[in-house]
Structure 1
Amino acid sequence: MVYTSITKMAHPLPKKSDLDTVARRAASIANHLMVPLSLASSLGNSSTSVGLCNTSMDDSYHKIHGQVSQKEVVWRSASDESGKEFTDIIYEKAMGEGIAKITINRPERRNAFRPQTVKELMRAFNDARDDSSVGVIILTGKGTKAFCSGGDQALRTEGGYADDNDIARLNVYDLQVQIHRLPKPVIAMVAGYAVGGGHVLHMVCDITIAADNAVFGQTGPKVDSF
């Protein structure tokens, strides 16, 4: 067994210039995390809140975008040009905010997708892509138990996942490519399970925001999958 002395392992002390650089970067990050001064009264008189509110808001984000709106977002049901009703998803747009939200609405099946679900997801993503008022898209699952648990195994046949006509045509790969190629950022909001095909869905999004109870995983060889 080889032992290395503490002297050899010790790192040289950082230079003052390096410490100054770290301090500047930390201050810049802190400015992005500060709450608006208008919220000072609602935060109480604790030393922490006073320190936060007294910190300068003169950072690059606020110079460009101004103060972030604190008003509650108003969501409205949306549809695509076909006008067909969505059954497996909830499609909404935030009024005046440039946000579209697509929710997989099958909580009784842990938001597992079937052919109908995939078709509706593709319709909604197409509409959000073509809507010039939409700048960002949120993908999530109904409830807190699952974001998406992949393909609905109750509908799986020898040929794949069957639709209402017993025809196996689960075009989930087309959906994945569609999300990956969207010219607008797609944010996955994950609570609960994101496993199997659901895990892939969040991975093809640009950003994933995970709740404390989020669980990620691939079933892989257990079900003869990749």
Structure 2
Amino acid sequence: MELIDTILEKKNGVAKITINRPEVYNAFRAQTIKELIWCFREAWDDNTVGVVILTGTGEKAFCTGGDQKQKDGESGYDGKGGLGNGIGLEIENLHQTIRNIPKPVIAAVNGYAIGGGHVLHVVCDLTIAADTAKFGQSGPKVGSFDAGYGSAYLARIVGEKRAREIWYLCEQYSADECKEMGLVNKVVPLHELQQASEDWAQKILQKSPTAIKMLKLSFNADSANIQGITQLSMANLALFYQSNESAEGKNAFLEKRPVDFSTFRS
């Protein structure tokens, strides 16, 4: 596959996958998701690779979720009528690929991890963050949500009360705050982030690959039922994207004006 929105590098047993859309804070579109899935499967099939690192280009953003300029309630993110899950993004497939690849995935969060970008780091096995990174949700602000891994699995990590706070308030949290709540494993200065991720990858590579694989399968088993919830969530999200309420969130964001959902409470 010709990679346009991503970069794949393989070296010393590590596959590094970089979301490469810095002009939009590494927000993803349909093409981005397809490339990410391909990159993870390429790393999956390569027996010389034992660990995957997921990061973003630049110093500003890891990933800020779906590119709102690409979103359309009728035709989805792919412009083809929202085929598959109905929203035009193979996001369920990507989440499952990250979880199912029998190799640890380290999120190296170099900046904003917001919205769908926040969910991406949540589903990774480990997260190392730059001290400048910011985390949070934006879905309810722009007429969107992730009622699958982005909420249900998040609650497994940080607890119900904190997960509800993250989604209901849509505030942003520092890397240190996220480390305190168990959402981030380690915080380092920005200039040390990539090296710190490489160091952890090399430590994992020194361990038994079969043991690591079985441990990942075991960790995943307890939350495997969330996949079914995710399918229901995405089907409902596709319907929601066709509503005026969702459109208000998107339009307010693009027009850089305050959002007004008041008319949708009646």
Question: Shorter-chain-normalised TM-score: which range?
Answer: 0.5 to 0.7
Uncovered stretches (5+) of structure 2, i.e. residues with no partner: 83-87, 146-266
**Map 1:122-161 → 2, pairs under 5 A:** 122-159=37-74, 161=76
TM-score by length of 1: 0.60
2:126 to 193, 199, 207: 207
Aligned-residue offset at 1:222: 1.5
The CA distance in 1 between the partners of 2:73 and 2:112, in whole Å, is 26
Given that residues 115 and 161 in structure 1 are in contact (C-alpha distance below 8 angstroms), is that contact kept between their aligned partners in structure 2? no
The CA distance in 1 between the partners of 2:47 and 2:35, in whole Å, is 20
Task: Give 1 or 2 for the bigger CA radius of gyration.
Answer: 1
1:101 to 16, 22, 25: 16
Given that residues 114 and 161 in structure 1 are in contact (C-alpha distance below 8 angstroms), is that contact kept between their aligned partners in structure 2? no
Superposition RMSD on alpha carbons, in Å? 1.3
Uncovered stretches (5+) of structure 1, i.e. residues with no partner: 1-83
Aligned-residue offset at 1:162: 2.7
Given that residues 99 and 137 in structure 1 are in contact (C-alpha distance below 8 angstroms), is that contact kept between their aligned partners in structure 2? yes
Given residue 100 of structure 2, which amino acid in structure 1 is its aligned partner? Answer: R
Number of the residue aligned with 1:110: 25
Given that residues 151 and 161 in structure 1 are in contact (C-alpha distance below 8 angstroms), is that contact kept between their aligned partners in structure 2? no
1:119-172, Cα deviation, whole Å (9 max, x unpaired)? 000001001011000000000000010000000000110136432x54431111
The CA distance in 2 between the partners of 1:128 and 1:184, in whole Å, is 9
Give the stretch that moved more between structures: 115-124 or 212-221: 212-221
The CA distance in 2 between the partners of 1:199 and 1:126, in whole Å, is 21
What number of residue pairs does the alignment pair up? Answer: 140
1:181 to 92, 95, 100: 100
Q: Are 2:8 and 1:91 aligned? A: yes
The structure with the greater share of residues assigned to helix is: 2
Aligned-residue offset at 1:221: 1.9
The CA distance in 2 between the partners of 1:187 and 1:207, in whole Å, is 5
The CA distance in 2 between the partners of 1:160 and 1:206, in whole Å, is 33
1:49-74, Cα deviation, whole Å (9 max, x unpaired)? xxxxxxxxxxxxxxxxxxxxxxxxxx
The CA distance in 2 between the partners of 1:140 and 1:186, in whole Å, is 11
Secondary structure of residue in 1 paired with 2:94? helix
Secondary structure of residue in 2 paired with 1:157? coil
Given residue 125 of structure 1, which amino acid in structure 2 is its aligned partner? Answer: F
2:109 to 190, 200, 209: 190
Secondary structure of residue in 2 paired with 1:201? helix
Given residue 89 of structure 1, which amino acid in structure 2 is its aligned partner? Answer: T
TM-score by length of 2: 0.51
Given residue 69 of structure 2, which amino acid in structure 1 is its aligned partner? Answer: A
Percent identity of the aligned residues?
Answer: 59
The CA distance in 1 between the partners of 2:109 and 2:75, in whole Å, is 26
